[in-house]
């Protein structure tokens, strides 16, 4: 497994790869969710490339950039075991040299949900993914359904900028009790870790109501909010949304393919999760 830190080194190594390349962009501190993406990339391509980059431009000024969990030796051991060909670990200065000034700004689908709370977030995500795609030139890039709005934004960017790769979405990997795996779960104290399951329970409730024939989005949202409010450690509900899966516009009437998503602050982290009503 090659570990490469420079853009020129990564581009050169890419030139030497024949066949197809599956690419998994990450911010590191890897868990089974990330590894699931890597396994898909490995199984569907000749080569697998993973990037580890805590992208400063997608963090707001009051967010956790400085304290975001990092463990490169453990990440590399996990990726080596998966049989990854190349790990790209650039520095922030390598990706954003002095006087950096070019941004990719996807409109509309970035204005609600996470985008409403984190105004510059998706501009940072779209820009860094665009740069990484240009450097790695993957055949397919793999993203987790866990970050549902990110998937919508990246797919739109790739389609509208006519980019030459396919975006593959991988199901959310969960802990045995339903909590979606996330690098930020490390911030949870033991009682908060228990309480964090309320996000999953609220999503399960939405699925159950939908299966029983409920199509009024307001009623489903209210039931979810009531359930979350019963959890004393759920401090702030940022949003509970039932939206169109493509446009992310809120729905009154729930239809097949609707995206139910929520964000709840439990202790230090604000956790996000979602489900698609099938």
Query: Closest approach of Cβ 16 to ligand AMP, in Å?
Result: 26
Task: Tell which phi-psi region holds residue 111, choosing left (phi > 0), alpha (psi between -120 and 50) or beta.
Answer: alpha
**Minimal distance in Å, beta carbon 70 to ligand AMP?**
11
How many C-beta atoms lie closer than 10 Å to residue 278's C-beta?
9
Strands (E), 70-163: 86-88, 140-144
**At closest approach, how far in Å is the CB of 142 from ligand AMP?**
7
Q: Which of residues 182-221 bind ligand AMP (CB under 6 A)?
A: 182-183
Number of CB atoms found within 10 A of residue 69's CB: 14
Binding residue for ligand AMP, selected from 147, 192, 231, 273, defined by CB under 6 A: 147
Considering beta carbons, is residue 173 or 264 the nearer one to ligand AMP? 173
Q: Which is nearer to ligand AMP, 23 or 220 (CB)?
A: 23
Contact (CB, 8 A) for 91 and 7: no
Q: Residue with structure tokens 């609600």?
A: 112
**Per-position b or e across 196-222, b if 16+ CB within 10 A of its CB:** bbbbbbbbebbeebbeeeeeebeebbe
Which residue bears the tokens 């390598």?
94
Between 50 and 234, CB nearer to ligand AMP: 50
- Selected catalytic residue, list 34, 47, 121, 201: 34
User: For this structure, is 34 an active site residue?
Assistant: yes
The answer to whether residue 180 forms part of the interface with ligand AMP (CB under 6 A) is yes
172 in contact with ligand AMP (CB under 6 A): yes
Q: How far is C-alpha 190 from the geometric centre of its chain's CA atoms?
A: 24
Which of 35, 170, 196, 263 forms a contact with ligand AMP (CB under 6 A)?
Answer: 170
Active site residues: 34
**Site residues, ligand AMP (CB under 6 A):** 26-27, 33-34, 36-37, 143-144, 146-147, 170, 172-173, 180-183
């Amino acid at each position: 497994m090659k570990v490469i830190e420079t853009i020129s080194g990564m581009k050169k190594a890419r030139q030497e790869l024949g066949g197809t390349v599956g690419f998994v962009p990450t911010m590191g501190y890897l868990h089974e969710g990330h590894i699931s993406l890597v396994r898909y990339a490995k199984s569907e391509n000749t080569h697998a490339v993973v990037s580890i980059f805590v992208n400063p431009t997608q963090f707001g000024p009051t967010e956790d950039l400085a304290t975001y969990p990092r463990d490169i030796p453990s990440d590399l051991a996990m990726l080596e075991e998966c049989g990854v060909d190349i790990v790209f670990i650039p520095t922030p200065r390598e990706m954003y040299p002095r006087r950096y000034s070019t941004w990719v700004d996807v409109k509309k689908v970035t204005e609600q949900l996470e985008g409403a709370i984190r105004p510059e977030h998706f501009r940072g995500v779209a820009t860094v993914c665009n740069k990484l795609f240009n450097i790695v030139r993957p055949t397919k890039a793999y993203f987790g359904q866990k970050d549902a709005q990110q998937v919508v934004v990246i797919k739109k960017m790739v389609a509208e900028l006519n980019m030459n790769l396919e975006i593959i979405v991988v199901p959310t990997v969960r802990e045995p009790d339903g909590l979606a795996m996330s690098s930020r779960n490390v911030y949870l104290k033991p009682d908060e870790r228990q309480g964090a399951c309320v996000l999953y329970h609220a999503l399960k409730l939405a699925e159950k109501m939908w299966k029983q024939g409920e199509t009024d989005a307001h009623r489903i949202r209210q039931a979810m909010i009531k359930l979350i409010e019963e959890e004393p450690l759920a401090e702030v509900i940022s949003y509970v949304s039932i939206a169109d899966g493509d446009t992310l516009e809120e729905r009154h009437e729930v239809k097949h393919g609707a995206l139910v998503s929520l964000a709840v602050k439990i202790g230090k982290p604000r956790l996000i999760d979602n489900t698609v009503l099938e």
